Chains A and B, each alone.
Chain A
């Protein structure tokens, strides 16, 4: 409750018109980042506690990757072998959405809760994103699969030999002639 109350307080601060529109001074923006980050971490703890009860993973870590916006996740950067992705659907109906998980360029198999193989593929992260300063360079690809989630669903990712997987992507067009090769 303490963590949730703090998140509520910070969300209250974020209703200020400067926070909404971005017309705050830089040091205020930096402070908004700081407190919002703290509040989100507390929210993740609460969500983890709930998911440990609601899923069949009573010891699950339920880590949230806050750098997915730059296709980076500390949890998968050293390999996405035997990783469970638990998805929470905030919509009031079942939804099918594509999930992207930063991974190394290896072969993976994704299975759903019933052990059925789910089609997946590995696509490269754009070179311009890889070049971002402060970004860890170990994950240069993203594993993509289509998830169907009612409220909560889990998908299991396992590293496999190339023969077992067909998640490669065909490059059908190279950069134009005389263009700098960036892939």
Chain B
């Protein structure tokens, strides 16, 4: 009664019934404790061009009481989770597909008079990444990043320790130790980092109240029909042994960025084609 198990022939997910969160993933012969949740940064000087946290203690992560429902089909298994009034997601595994899909829905993000809110998703594992993670270079090769380090100089990160470690993630972010590798693929350009060993975070949506003064001249507070923007997107998670090739990530990336195009017609004739 403490766990809910959802599995296909390739992947097993274990959810903690008490917290309502994902707690373990098994795939490609590897098992890892992976907890996934959402966090919020409260920001003051953030704008369209910069992410600047107001108070380093502000980061709040939802760790408990997440409502969920599991839909168990023969082809797809879905876990519908509701984190708050403006954050929900579907964790989806499909038969024969070697990745876990997270379809997130974030917004409309509430803001205060002087403070904006920036929503991130956080995947925490026990992988001993030792401060090292990898981000893509404009969707192509992966570049090694090390927390609080730069290749050619010593950075001063005391004022903004989080955003100073943020990198653009246009296709994937990954970390590994000698045994396991965890990769996250995204469907759009986002910011991301690894602030703790074994942990990956991706910024999904932002709603800000101040302009940062670097050019655009408007606060990043996108609206449509007078309503704050709601965003929906997908992430793919792939867990495998560290000594395996990253071909699974490349194959999943193809489906992500070149999905089947759908066209709909009425069938006026026979239901079968010649």
* Residues of A that sit less than 8 Å from B by CB: 18, 20-26, 29, 44, 47-48, 51, 56-57, 59-65, 68-70, 73, 75-76, 82-91, 95-99, 101, 111, 113-115, 119-121, 123-124, 126-129, 132-134, 144-147, 149, 154, 156, 158, 169-176, 179-180, 182-183
Contacts and interface: CB of A to CB of B under 8 A. Distances in A.
Interface in B1-34: 4, 17, 20
Interface magnitude class on chain B: 35 or more
B158 interface: no
Contact of A123 (B73, B222, B259): B73
Contacts of B232: 69-70, 129
18 contacts: A22-B48, A51-B263, A59-B268, A61-B266, A64-B261, A65-B262, A95-B260, A97-B255, A98-B94, A115-B271, A123-B76, A127-B82, A128-B105, A144-B76, A146-B95, A147-B260, A176-B67, A183-B80
Given A129-B232, A183-B80, A57 B17 contact: no
Interface stretch (B110-118, B142-150, B173-181, B212-220): B212-220
Interface string B246-274: 00000000110011111111111001111
Given A64-B263, A126-B90, A173-B68, A111 B73 contact: no
Nearest to B261: A88
B223 interface: yes
A132 B88 CA distance: 12
B154 interface: no
B73 A169 contact: yes
B128 interface: no
Contacts of B215: 23
Nearest to B233: A69
Interface string B229-241: 0101000000000
A173 B267 contact: no
A113 B264 contact: no
A89 to B, nearest CB: 6
A97 B99 CA distance: 13
Given A63-B264, A63-B265, A95-B255, A172 B70 contact: yes
Interface string B70-100: 1111111010101000001010001111000
A149 B260 contact: yes
B69 interface: yes
A123 B258 contact: no
Contacts of A154: 273
A85 B67 CA distance: 35
A73 B75 contact: no
B153 interface: no
Contacts of A132: 230
A78 B189 CA distance: 36
B262 A99 contact: yes
B108 to A, nearest CB: 10
Nearest to A71: B232
Contacts of B263: 44, 47-48, 51, 60, 62-64, 85-88
Given A25-B218, A61-B265, A176-B67, A171 B72 contact: yes
5 closest Cβ pairs, A-B complex: A115-B272, A60-B265, A169-B73, A62-B263, A75-B264
Given A70-B232, A111-B272, A121-B76, A176 B97 contact: no
B260 A169 contact: no
A89 B76 contact: no
Counting chain A CB atoms within 10 Å of each CB, the highest count among B68, B96, B222, B265 belongs to B265
A172 to B, nearest CB: 5
Contacts of B223: 26
A65 B53 CA distance: 39
Contacts of A126: 80, 88, 90, 105
Given A83-B266, A121-B74, A24 B216 contact: yes
Given A63-B265, A146-B75, A97 B259 contact: yes
A183 to B, nearest CB: 5
Given A158-B271, A172-B72, A173-B68, A182 B264 contact: no
